[in-house]
Amino acid sequence: MDSFWIFNTAPVAMAVFDPMERYRLLYANPLWCAQFDRPIACAAGGVSPDMTLWVNEQDGAQFMSAIGECPSQFNLDAPLLTINAAPLWCRISARHSLVDSKPRLVIALQEIQAQREMEQSLRDSRELALKIFDVVPETLLISDARTGEFIDVNSAWAAKMGYRKEEVVGKTSRDIQLWVDMESVAAMGKRFAANGQVDGELLDMRRADGVILNFEVSGRQWRTADRHVSIWMARDITELRRNEVALKELNATLEDRVQRRTRELADALEVVRHAQNELVRTQRLSSLGALVAGVAHELNTPIGNALLAGSTLEHVSEDFNALKGQGLTRAALERYTSDVGLATDILLTNLTRSVELINGFKQLAVDQSSYHRRVFDLKTVVDEVLLTISPTLRRTPHTVRLEVPPQLEMDSFPGPLGQVLINLINNAVTHGFDGATKGTVVVAASAEAAEHMVLTVQDNGVGIAAANIDRIFDPFFTTRMGQGGSGLGLHICFSLVNGLLGGSISAASHASGGACFTLRLPRTAPQQ
């Protein structure tokens, strides 16, 4: 009675069969009945209430064969179809016993569905981990922490080092002579053993073909259920090392290159000074004296850019030297390479441009006194300009008319302003009346609001071609190359107006004929 009670209350599905009557079902506990509907007589050759309980027929055949051969007990893990036709993994345990002195087969079914799912999940996770391990682009290696033997390497490591996986698994780094500097490796090993990890160790490794590569090595210790392993990641920094050497060489030569360019610039400036003195003594070119302001203004930009680039290069180098003591990163090195390259390009470009400009301006000179700032009446300065060029105008059939009212006071640079007006008037007289027997140039001025002045120099000549209107202020642009045109006059006017005088200049060509140059100037020039 006690045995029957235990049978019925067992936490697993159980049934008793008579092996002498072709495994006829004798008893089944409630769990068996609940899972498999009701106990019915076994079919011939079957061990379950219904042969359809087996998901796989070969499992049923294997079970029948095993219980016939096994004198005592047999276990089988297999999926069975339950009452709802859903597969359920069970551990089927069969045991031959004597019940009331009669041979019986007792079968117990233990559900292992969750266990199987967990095992499958673990297999899937392991498979995913192995796939990730193998496709990571950085070189990875797993070794036995005790013996140092290689357990596994990923494809990136094998490709980088020139080995097949099977050539290194089971071997040590000494076996393949991997490390170049064993003292550095030993020191890293001590830190690894003490801290359980290392990061950013700079070490050299030897490929299978003997080529030495530079690496940044990091490692972690890891304990599995059955062993203690070390996981290593190595990032190839060979190219970064080459770049670092190249940068050191660049830094070593950059100062010499800058000094050489500076000397060339100084020589060019000396040429300019000599040209200034010669031109001042030359009466024929005395009217161009103030144009040297354009030289200085034009050179301010490339020289200023060169100085800024040099200063930037100095600061970038200081920051880079500070980082070297903290450990270089790839990003920092690439950023430094980019900054140095950019600063060098800017420096060399602007120094070269300065030399070119100075060579182009070597025919010009300047009256230094004309750059003195003072308060003046605009009409007075314009009258002086007209007086200055009157000898030239008398040799032409053309006239200049002034429409400048008095008492237009300015705090500016009368010399450069006068030189701009002289250049614009001469340009109109010389080039604006091609083929004309008589032309007129009108110089007008008016106040624009309280803080600005507008001056116009307008002629009734041939005008400016539409294709050239946007280029006339470019340096060395001229339509009279070989006929006395340098291409510098209007550019220097542009430079003086937009720079020293703090205003703007524009040009327009009227459909009815003639060109008009408009200057918008602050009544008080900006402080220099």
Question: DSSP string covering 149-208, please?
Answer: -EEEE-HHHHHHHT--HHHHTT--TTTTT-BS-HHHHHHHHHHHHHHSEEEEEEEEEE-T
| Encoded tokens for 233 | 């990641």
- Cα 297 from Cα 495, distance rounded (Å): 6
In this structure, are residues 228 and 221 in contact, taking their beta carbons and an 8 Å threshold?
A: yes
Q: Of 43, 53, 49, 54, whose CA–CA distance to 21 is shortest?
A: 43
State both tokens at 79: 């999926």
Residue 288 has pLDDT above 50, yes or no: no
What whole-number distance in Å separates Cα of residue 490 and Cα of residue 444?
A: 19
3-state secondary structure of 525: coil
Residue 138 in contact with residue 231, Cβ under 8 Å?
Answer: no
pLDDT of residue 163: 92
Could you tell me the CA-to-CA distances from 225 to 71, 222, 228, 229, 238 in Å, in that order? 37, 10, 8, 11, 37
**Cut 0.75: pTM above it:** no
- Per residue in 236-279, pLDDT (tens digit) is 888 888 887 777 777 777 777 777 888 887 877 777 666 645 54
pLDDT digits (tens, 9 = 90+) for 27-68: 888 887 777 665 443 433 444 444 457 788 888 788 877 777
Sign of CA dihedral 16, 18, 23, 24: negative
Structure tokens, 129:
């981990």
Do 136-236 and 372-522 have matching folds?
Answer: no
Mean pLDDT of the 352-358 span: 61
Contact of 222 with 133, CB cutoff 8 Å: no
Q: Which residues contact 362 (CB under 8 A, 6 or more apart)?
A: 271, 272, 275
Neighbours of 256 (CB within 10 A): 9
State CA 397 to chain mean position distance. 65
Q: What is the pLDDT of residue 286?
A: 42
Superfamily of domain 136-236: PAS domain (3.30.450.20)
Can you spell out the DSSP letters for 345-414? HHHHHHHHHHHHHHHHTTT----GGGG--EEEEHHHHHHHHHHHHHHHHHTSS-EEEEE--S--EEEE-H
Cα gap 94→71, rounded to integer Å: 10
Give the pLDDT of residue 505.
92
| Most confident region among 123-132, 210-219, 273-282, 323-332 by mean pLDDT | 210-219
**What architecture (CATH level 2) is domain 2-117?**
2-Layer Sandwich (3.30)
Give domain limits for the chain: 2-117, 136-236, 240-360, 372-522
The 10 Å Cβ neighbour count of residue 366 is 24
Domain 372-522 coded CATH 3.30.70.3280: no
- Cα 483 from Cα 252, distance rounded (Å): 49
DSSP 453-498: EEEEEEE-SS---TTTTTTTTSTT--S-TTTT--S-HHHHHHHHHH
pLDDT of residue 16: 84
pLDDT at residue 119 tops 90:
no
pLDDT of residue 467: 79
Least confident of 162-166, 346-350, 457-461: 346-350
Burial 195-230 (b: 16+ CB within 10 A, else e): eeebeebebbbbeeeeeebbbbbbbeeeeeeeeebb
pLDDT score, position 284: 34
* Structure tokens belonging to residue 456: 């116009």
Nearest to 447 by CA among 504, 525, 384, 520: 520
**Rounded distance, CA 362 to CA 396, Å?**
29
Calculate Rg over the CA atoms of the chain.
49
Categorize the per-residue pLDDT at 448 as very low, low, confident or very high, splitting at 50, 70 and 90. Answer: confident
Q: Give the pLDDT band of residue 444 (cuts 50, 70, 90).
A: very high
